Every structure is written in C-alpha cells, then in structure tokens.
Amino acid sequence: MKEWMKTKEFMILMIVIAVFLIISIGNPTAFLTTGNIFDIVKSNLVLAIAAMGMLPIILTGGIDVSVGALMGVASVMSAYFMIHVSDNIALGFLAGALSGILFGAVNGAFIAFMKMPPIVATLGTLSIYQGLMNFITNGNWITNIPAGFVEFGKTYLFDLVPVQFIFLIVMVALTWWLLKYTYWGRGVFAIGGNIISAERIGFNVKRLQFMLYMFIGFVSGIAGVVRTSIFGQVDPKVFTGFELKVIGAVVVGGASTSGGYGSVLGTLLGVVLMGLLENGMILLKIPTFWQKIFIGSVILFAVTADILRAKRAEAKRIKVDVA
C-alpha cells in the first residue's frame, strides 16, 4: 500500500477526489444528482474507450493524431453498412472495427515500415481520412440509422447502466490483459524504454509498431460505433479535434510522453478527471473559452511535470554512474 501511494496513479486519484469535492461544494444541487453523475459517465464513455487504444501508442513514445478521424470514418463506414447491407447490430460493430483496423494499418505501414515519424504520418492521414469522410457523406449527417440499432443504443442494464458501458469494460479488460500478460505488451514497454535495446533483446519492433496502430484503429472503430449508438446518428465532423482530448486524457492519467510508463488505471483516472473538470466548469457557468484555456493548461502542466520528473531521474542515474 505504501508503495502504491508513491505512484502517479495515487496522486491522480487524490486530485480527482479533490476536484470532486470542490465541484460538490460549488454547486451541490446540480452536481450531486444521480442524473448528472450518469451523464458524466455516458458522455465520457467514447473518450475512455478511445484512450485505451491511445495508451499503448503513448507507452512506446509514439503518438496518433488521426484517432479522431479514425473514429469518424469508421462510424461512417459502419452506418452505411447497416443502412445498405445489413442492419444486424453485431455486424455493424464488426464493420466499424474492420474499417478502423484497415485505416490503422495504413498508419502502421507508414510508421513501422517506411520509418516516418508518427506525428508526421498521422497528421497526413488525419487530413486524408477527414477528406474521405466528407467525400462519402458530402458533409451531411447520417440520420437514417436502422431503428433496431437506435433502440439498442437506448438500452439500460438494470434500468441504470447504459449498454455502451459493456464496450468500455471489454476494452479496458482487453488492453490491461494485452499489456500485462502478452509478448506484445512486454514489447510495448520495451520499445518505450529504449527502442534499440528492444531490438537487441529480440523484439520485432516493426511488427509490434504495425500491430500497435492496427490496435488503435480497432479500438477507434469500436468507439466510433459506440458514439453512433448513443446519439442514433453520425455527424462526420463531430470528432474534429477529438484527438486532443484522447491524448490529453492519457497524459493527464500519468502516461509518460517519452514512453515506458503508463497504466490502464491511470488512463481511466485521467478520463474521469477530464470529465469532472468539463462538467464542473459547465455547472459553474464558466465561459467556454476559459474552459478550453483551463483544460489546455492542465494538459501542459501534466506534460511539464512528466518532463521534469524524467530529467530528475536522468540526473540521479548520471550521479550513480559517476559515483
């Protein structure tokens, strides 16, 4: 227990509790209601799912700024599949997942095999995928989603928990298991620690990186379809800029931007913190532009703290080597 209290996750948990208490005191009648709490959960489900795909990328020291476009194009593909091919719910999710994997593989090919910097490759594909979405939809919303899928999205388990929560649980469990118990997960942390050392001890770095971007494509595809199930329609522009929220949640959750450190628990806490801050500022009637400034400042603070921590750790290693 004492060791865990020294971790980033514990510190983030304390911040979450502090923010929760501050908002509760500031506006208890609006914030401390069952409806509002479940609104926070439901409005951040898609972010939490997408963050599970981004976490392994950040753990390797990489980044994917096309994640919002991946989610958008996968939701568009899934919607058109259900409208024109089959209204089967499972097949609709499968269409979204496969679309995400396909476009994620394109990112992975540029990064793993052509050695493009992740930021450059995904910036390029971000524009391509957004353009593809606008071409397919002509910039219009897709509102004629099959009624069965729309009704599915309105389902609540035990009249309390939205059905979309199941997808979050599955993605959280899958990401945790992959990172903790598989060769792929060990490779992710090895690459994040030192990519050259990872190659020397036998990890196939190219294959691992390629699989990483296929994985975030898969998760993004599921997240996009989950969003469709919540709102019953597809807005091709809704995920514009969403990548900043996804990356921000992972970084605020304690993942190191230089790679090698991060956790599923920390990422979930990062999502909770971002959700609480956003909801709290709305309830406290803080203007939108101040909300954006504050959230951006929180992300910058988290990144700065991580960089300073890394520098201190490096300084300690240098002192040990000299001694």
Lowest mean pLDDT among 32-36, 69-73, 125-129, 200-204: 32-36
- Under the banding of pLDDT at 50, 70 and 90, the label for residue 319 is low
| Segment 184-194, tens digit of pLDDT | 999 999 999 88
pLDDT band at 258 (very low <50, low <70, confident <90, very high): confident
Average pLDDT over residues 245-256: 92
Which residues are paired to 156 by β-bridges? 162
Between 148 and 318, the more confident residue is 148
pTM, 2 dp: 0.92
At residue 275, does pLDDT exceed 60? Answer: yes
Domain total of the chain: 1
Q: Which domain holds residue 19?
A: 4-322
CATH code where residue 164 lies:
1.10.3470
- State the pLDDT at residue 317: 58
In this structure, are residues 109 and 267 in contact, taking their beta carbons and an 8 Å threshold? no
Q: Give the pLDDT score at 283.
A: 84
pLDDT at 99: 96
Q: Which of 14-18, 100-104, 158-162, 286-290 has the lowest mean pLDDT?
A: 158-162
Q: Give me the pLDDT at residue 322, please.
A: 47
Find the mean pLDDT for residues 98-117.
95
User: Among 149-158, 204-213, 308-317, which range has the highest average pLDDT?
Assistant: 204-213
